[in-house]
Amino acid sequence: MTTATRSILTTLLDEVPPSVPEGAEIMTVKVELPPGDPGTPPHRHSGPVFGYVLEGEIVFELEGEPERLIRAGEAFWEPGGDVIHYQAGNGLSGEWSRFVVVMIGVPGAPMLTLVDEAELEARRDRRAPRP
The model's pLDDT over 9-33, given as tens digits with 9 standing for 90+, comes to 889 999 887 778 788 999 999 999 9
> How confident is the model at residue 1, as a pLDDT?
58
Span 70-103, pLDDT tens digits? 999 999 999 999 999 999 999 999 999 999 999 9
pTM value is 0.88
> How confident is the model at residue 66, as a pLDDT?
95
> How confident is the model at residue 2, as a pLDDT?
62
> How confident is the model at residue 16, as a pLDDT?
85
CB atoms within 10 A of CB 126: 11
